[in-house]
Structure 1
Amino acid sequence: MDLKSGYPFWAIKNGLMCAFPQLKANITCDVVVIGGGITGSLIADNLGKNGFDVVVVEQRDIAWGSSAASTALLQYEIDTHMADLARMYGEFHAVAAYKACAAAITDLRDLADELGDVDFGMRESLYFASKRSHKAELREEYDLRIKHEFDAEWLDAGGVKERFGFKAPCAILTKLAAQVDPYRMASKLLLRLAERGGRVFDRTVIHTIEPSEDKVTLQTPEGFKIQARHVVMAAGYASQKWLKQSVAKNRSSYAFITDPIEESALGPLASTMMWESARPYLYMRTTGNGRLLVGGDDDDIDIPARRDRRVDSKAKGLCKKVRKLFPDLQMRPAFSWGGTFAETKDGLPFFGEHPQYGPRVQFALAYGGNGISYSMIGADLLRANIEGRLHPLAGLFGFSRAG
């Protein structure tokens, strides 16, 4: 599955950070994690730290799929408003999902501190109304967050202009957000896992998965087998091929990144990521060395050749949108790319067993704009499932909600 187009910045910046052997023998373990991107690496790290013998299998080089194209905005704000989730599933569950995402950001900060050198940085996040007609929705969202003690601030048009320098009808300023280099974090997590006794295999394809009552047998096209007590399918957007049920829709998103810009020229963008209420939405954030990363302009294209042809024009369109907000900001795209992502109908992920396979095969589908935060939550959720414990988000993030 071709997941990216153009020149994703993380791949260029980091190069190939690590290489692992291919699987060339039959092995056994406690848990196999299929997928060596940021989702698989966070899950494998959690399991390994808690005493499981973990094997990670990746069909490409490590983190070379969608993780290399991720723009890695870490927010507790889900693409679906908390108020809308409350109408779907009840206020208790909506608040629980948002609070779990908030906790995931501080957990990711602590993990980044352990690893070091993953371009992690805490930020504020400005969610601004694209149109006057969106003001009522944002106010309802803000009021619900304040009711449940989220740290947020309401800005009217004057406040947005005074503090951030552009025109918008209103905005919600969130105090808890962050950013990271996802390729670097995934690579360092798996290098650490291997140093601690875990096993990682790249360029290794899983051809069949056969669950039984007490184990799961996986086989490569070359005939090598892995026998495990449990499997976690964390293969990103390629995971859908293992399910008969369609659980998400693949789309394409686009991004560009500039050369480093002086902090004085970036102004509030240096410390605040920004995104808008329109769908699809424009979003902006900086890197640790002052590059401006801009993304959005999503479309329904899921054909790699067509996505490839659109990268340059999409980058120009995104650049035009930023210049409309910040006409004095001197910038131009240094690298631009596109990538596949998937959306669920409600913006929530799917973590847990699927009736097609039974309890020994767990899925980790961290779909949507909160993929990395979701993966941090999912690591705990899936470990609870494997250990036979009930996780408070198992129902909301499970396949049963899909009907």
Structure 2
Amino acid sequence: MDLKSGYPWWAVRNGLIHAFPPLEKDLRCDVLVVGGGITGALIADELSRHGHDVAVIEQRDIGWGSTAASTALLQYEIDTHLLELAQRYGQDAAALAYRACAEAIPALGEVARGLKDVDFQRMDSLYLASRHRDVPRLMAEGDARRGIGLDARWLGPEALRERFDVEAGGALLTRQAARIDPYRLTYALLQRVRRRGGHVHDRTVLHSLDATARGVAARTEAGATIRARHVVLAMGYANQRWLKQRVARNRSSYAFITDPIDADVLGRLRNTMVWESARPYLYLRATGDRRLLVGGLDDAIDIPARRDRRVQSKADQLMKQLLRWFPRLDPVPAFSWGGTFAETADGLPFFGPHAQWGPRVHFAMAYGGNGITYSMIGAQLLRARIERRRHALEGLFGFGRL
């Protein structure tokens, strides 16, 4: 399935950075990571950095699936509010999830340190009340976040007007956010994995898995066999094809990017990403070259041809929503696209083994609005499991919560 429509900015800007060779012969490794997007790259980097012999295979070119369509807003905020998570799983579990996401932002900064031109930059995050009736709920959410030690400052209408030139009943401002180029980061991480002695192969399609108590044999469509102690499936939405149990649903999201905008016109938007309380929500953030990347209007379409036909109309709607919030902007759209992603009912990811496959096949399903943040947490969680160590989130982020 083609995961994207139109002209995703990262692919347009960067092109095909590097071609890795397809796997043409049998291979042995400690851990096989199936999936060459940002999730698989972060996991492979984490494992190889700690001495594991890692191999990565990807059915397309590296980073050419959902990663190329990602808008890469790095936030600690989960699509499901802290208060709602606490109602579902208890205060301690909800606080653990939110704090882990907050800690993942600087952890991603450390991962990006020393890598060339991945555009990692710390930002603020402004969470607008879309309607006046959302104000009490957002104020309560801010109180809850501050109650567990997280940064969340309330801004009223006057402060929003003065600082951001936006009309809203209120908003939560947080300082724990960042941006990144996920496509370049994926390539940089996998090239680093290779420099450490790991194997990376694109255009290599997984055909079957044979898991035993001692290891896993993975066979490719070309006939090669990879024998590994553990396998991590990090194929995005396609992971669901390897499970009989339905754990998520597919969605499409849409985005466009503008031509560069004068710094004085952008103002605080240069360093502040914006999203809103409506569902589905509009979100936007600036790039390093002063473009605005705007996305949202998620829908239940996951048929590529139908998604393709919607890209332009969705981009037009997104532009109208952008100008409703920021009417003084005069953006010129440059490229628009859509991408298919997956989401869970509670907004949380799944990392770890599933009973269907046993303890040596691990799933990395970083589904939801902050998938890259989840992927950073998942890389650490899966390394702990592979090394037979406990991780505080293995229960909450595991299949046992279903």
Instruction: Quickly name the TM-score band, shorter chain normalised.
Output: over 0.9
Pairwise CA distance, 1:114: 2.3
Question: Contact conserved, 1:255 with 1:295, CA < 8 A, in 2?
Answer: yes
Pairwise CA distance, 1:166: 1.1
Residues in 2 aligned to 1:151 and 1:139: alpha-carbon distance in whole angstroms:
13
> Who is 1:8 aligned against?
8
Residues in 2 aligned to 1:369 and 1:393: alpha-carbon distance in whole angstroms:
19
Deviations 1:42-73 (A, max 9, x none): 00000001111000000000010000000000
Pairwise CA distance, 1:161: 1.4
> Who is 1:49 aligned against?
49
Residues in 2 aligned to 1:360 and 1:235: alpha-carbon distance in whole angstroms:
17
Residues in 1 aligned to 2:111 and 2:390: alpha-carbon distance in whole angstroms:
24
> Who is 1:310 aligned against?
310
Amino acid at match of 1:48: S
Answer yes or no: is 1:62 the counterpart of 2:62: yes
- Give runs of aligned pairs for residues 355-374 of structure 1, distance below 5 A: 355-374=355-374
Aligned-partner SS, 2:230 = strand
- Give runs of aligned pairs for residues 107-146 of structure 1, distance below 5 A: 107-146=107-146
Amino acid at match of 2:307: R
Pairwise CA distance, 1:192: 1.1
Aligned-partner SS, 1:400 = helix
> Who is 1:166 aligned against?
166
Amino acid at match of 2:198: G
Task: Tell me the TM-score normalized by structure 2.
Answer: 0.99
Please give the root-mean-square deviation of Cα atoms over the aligned residues, in Å.
0.7
Residues in 2 aligned to 1:292 and 1:152: alpha-carbon distance in whole angstroms:
24
Residues in 1 aligned to 2:139 and 2:323: alpha-carbon distance in whole angstroms:
27
Question: Contact conserved, 1:9 with 1:69, CA < 8 A, in 2?
Answer: yes
Amino acid at match of 2:131: K
Answer yes or no: is 1:181 the counterpart of 2:185: no
Amino acid at match of 1:311: V
Question: Contact conserved, 2:204 with 2:222, CA < 8 A, in 1?
Answer: no
- Give runs of aligned pairs for residues 1-400 of structure 1, distance below 5 A: 1-400=1-400
Pairwise CA distance, 1:147: 1.1
Residues in 1 aligned to 2:137 and 2:42: alpha-carbon distance in whole angstroms:
34
Aligned-partner SS, 1:288 = coil
Residues in 2 aligned to 1:5 and 1:242: alpha-carbon distance in whole angstroms:
25
Question: Contact conserved, 1:18 with 1:191, CA < 8 A, in 2?
Answer: no
Residues in 1 aligned to 2:173 and 2:11: alpha-carbon distance in whole angstroms:
31
Q: In terms of mean alpha carbon deviation, does 155-164 or 230-239 score higher?
A: 155-164
Aligned-partner SS, 1:114 = coil
Residues in 2 aligned to 1:261 and 1:397: alpha-carbon distance in whole angstroms:
40
Aligned-partner SS, 2:222 = coil
Pairwise CA distance, 1:116: 2.8
Aligned-partner SS, 1:60 = coil
Residues in 2 aligned to 1:27 and 1:330: alpha-carbon distance in whole angstroms:
54
Aligned-partner SS, 1:115 = coil
Residues in 2 aligned to 1:114 and 1:399: alpha-carbon distance in whole angstroms:
35
Residues in 1 aligned to 2:277 and 2:297: alpha-carbon distance in whole angstroms:
13
Aligned-partner SS, 2:348 = coil
Amino acid at match of 1:218: A
Deviations 1:157-216 (A, max 9, x none): 222112111111110000110000000000000011111100001000010001011010
Residues in 2 aligned to 1:307 and 1:262: alpha-carbon distance in whole angstroms:
32
Residues in 2 aligned to 1:335 and 1:29: alpha-carbon distance in whole angstroms:
41
Amino acid at match of 2:342: A
Amino acid at match of 1:118: V
Task: Tell me the TM-score normalized by structure 1.
Answer: 0.99
Aligned-partner SS, 1:358 = coil
Residues in 1 aligned to 2:348 and 2:114: alpha-carbon distance in whole angstroms:
28
Aligned-partner SS, 2:206 = coil
Pairwise CA distance, 1:136: 1.6
Residues in 2 aligned to 1:24 and 1:146: alpha-carbon distance in whole angstroms:
54
Pairwise CA distance, 1:222: 2.4
Deviations 1:237-268 (A, max 9, x none): 11111111111110100000001111101112
Question: Contact conserved, 2:217 with 2:227, CA < 8 A, in 1?
Answer: yes
Deviations 1:91-130 (A, max 9, x none): 1111110110011000111111121310111100000100
Residues in 2 aligned to 1:172 and 1:313: alpha-carbon distance in whole angstroms:
30
Question: Contact conserved, 2:76 with 2:101, CA < 8 A, in 1?
Answer: yes
Amino acid at match of 1:7: Y
Residues in 2 aligned to 1:161 and 1:261: alpha-carbon distance in whole angstroms:
21
Q: In terms of mean alpha carbon deviation, does 249-258 or 140-149 score higher?
A: 140-149
Q: In terms of mean alpha carbon deviation, does 215-224 or 39-48 score higher?
A: 215-224
Pairwise CA distance, 1:324: 1.3
Aligned-partner SS, 1:318 = helix
Residues in 1 aligned to 2:163 and 2:149: alpha-carbon distance in whole angstroms:
23
Deviations 1:275-301 (A, max 9, x none): 000000000100001000000011111
Pairwise CA distance, 1:323: 0.9
Aligned-partner SS, 2:388 = coil
Amino acid at match of 2:397: F
Q: In terms of mean alpha carbon deviation, does 148-157 or 370-379 score higher?
A: 148-157
Pairwise CA distance, 1:351: 0.2
Residues in 1 aligned to 2:163 and 2:222: alpha-carbon distance in whole angstroms:
60
Question: Contact conserved, 2:204 with 2:221, CA < 8 A, in 1?
Answer: no
Aligned-partner SS, 1:133 = helix
